[in-house]
Amino acid sequence: MSKLKEILALVRSINEDEFQEQLTHGDTLDDVYEELLFLANKFESKKKRTAEIIEQISNCFAGDFFNYLPISEAHDELDVFCMGFNTYIEELKSAMVSKKLAETINEKLVEEKERSEQLALVRHQFLSNMSHEIRTPLNGIMGFTDLLLKSASLDPEKSKQLEYIKISADVLLVIINDILDLVKIESGQLTLTNKPFNLNLLTQLLYDTFLVKTKEKAIDFKVAIDKKVPRILNGDSIRVSQIFFNLISNSVNSTPVNGKIRFKIKFQEEEDDNFILKIILKDTGLGISTEMFKEASNPFTKQYEGAGLGLTIIKKIINIMNGEIVVKSKINVGTKFIITLPFSKNDHHLSASKSYIDREYSVPKIDVNAKIKVLLAEDNRVNQLLSHKILSDYNFDCVAVANGKLAVEAVNQEDFDIVIMDLMMPVMNGYEATSAIRNMKDLLKKNIPIIALSAVVNDTVNDTCKAVGINKYISKPFSSEELYTAILSLIIRE
């Protein structure tokens, strides 16, 4: 084979292997030239494309991520590489867009979080202010009612009327607390007390409360309590009143003229630690749907007046009391509620409850040689009179001032055994006044016991009181016994 044929065969094999091309079929010098020219053009094209690819990749390293590599018509290995690179760029672009979207979403979430926190702060402040404004007059109503109930000269009719005022105020206080503790209620953190109460008296008062309205509508309203039910139970009487009050109120409002309401309390069983009672309320009212009861979204308020807090809170209270509630109802026929509630056995509470049963409300006064001298800082005149009366009944000397600044001056000028400090006062509030007293030079004066007696009720009030040096916090409305016990616990030393 001649050298020309060998060169031609070599070039043709390169073109066939590399480019899948065979241009000529002869073995002349023109064939060799044409094959070599084709090969040279291909190499030059690859060289230029390779330079472009390197430049594009360099730009990517410099930060220009979204330039695609060119795809030629050759469909060779460079094009395969370029297609793979472009796919990577697409994925990178998608990832960058997703990252930007995520950053935008995060920014919006941060803004929404800040907005929610601001709204929560505004709501918290509103509820605190509302609490203070409602609790302050309510303290006067409940306080003076308790004082009047202690009167030995009170006739039975007036005593019963005062009991109506007391139970209505108690229910109103629960409603206020429920509004303030709405978040806790929704999260199941509602707390209960466990004190002795007279179930017969509570039920009678509730019956009398609705008697006028049931007579107006000619409703046959009867209440029955099983003889086996203990006369005195331990539990949260206010919450029990709230359950009974709301259910009876709903029935009275939904039952038409000449209808019937039956309210029964039965003894179901006795366990080692509890008495289990069954409460049945049956009416011939408008009825409620099963869906309404399951949702418990305050259904009564949508149809009837005076529905109270509705099934939502009632169900939660019963659940916290480890009880159960079942409803059976037919629209325009009537509703039957069946509630089971446990009440703990507690001999100490039962023995200590005689004063409640017999209405002996007074607490023994401390036997001291000299009267205890109390400084009362209170800007509300009614509550000032109430506290002064309570303290006087316990044989305490009481000096009252109208703001924190006057309280600081009084402590500085006179000797007191204890200070009772309202928190929200003009000129100087209770926190500021306490801080001023705690910074006095006189050792006895700076360490005087201080009780915060305030209508401020929120999650931080206790911590704030402790931080400024207040020894004990009591919320309004308060009982005279609660205040008396708190005073003795702070001034009596072993």
Distance CA 104, CA 414 (A): 64
Distance CA 194, CA 415 (A): 39
Q: Considering only CA atoms, which of 489, 357, 385 is closest in space to residue 143?
A: 385
Residue partners of 489: CB distance under 8 A and separation at least 6 = 472
pLDDT of the residue at 289: 66
Q: pLDDT tens digits, residue range 97-123?
A: 788 888 888 888 888 888 877 876 776
Q: Considering only CA atoms, which of 41, 101, 97, 105 is closest in space to residue 74?
A: 41
Q: pLDDT tens digits, residue range 387-428?
A: 999 999 888 999 999 999 999 999 999 999 999 999 989 999
| CA distances (Å), origin 148, targets 134, 165, 266, 398 | 22, 11, 34, 20
Distance CA 384, CA 379 (A): 7
Average pLDDT, the chain: 80
Structure letter (DSSP) for residue 308: T
Amino acid symbol at 216:
E
Distance CA 15, CA 42 (A): 9
Q: What is the largest CA-CA distance in the chain?
A: 145
**Exposure letters 221-257 (e unless 16+ CB within 10 A, then b):** bebebeeebeebbbbbbbbbbbbbbbbbbbbbbbbee
Task: Name the residue with higher pLDDT: 454 or 69.
Answer: 454
Distance CA 447, CA 470 (A): 10
- Residue for token pair 């099963």: 290
Q: With 60 as the cut, is the pLDDT of residue 295 above it? A: no
Q: pLDDT tens digits, residue range 326-375?
A: 999 888 899 999 999 999 986 544 443 444 334 333 333 444 456 899 99
Q: pLDDT tens digits, residue range 260-275?
A: 999 999 999 998 889 9
Task: Name the residue with higher pLDDT: 303 or 8.
Answer: 8
Strand partners, 195: 235
| Phi, psi dihedrals of residue 341, rounded to the nearest 5° | -135, 135
Residue partners of 285: CB distance under 8 A and separation at least 6 = 250, 251, 254, 255, 256, 259, 334, 335
pLDDT of the residue at 370: 61
Rounded to the nearest angstrom, the gap between the alpha carbon of residue 394 and the centroid of all alpha carbons in its chain is 39
Residue partners of 333: CB distance under 8 A and separation at least 6 = 284, 287
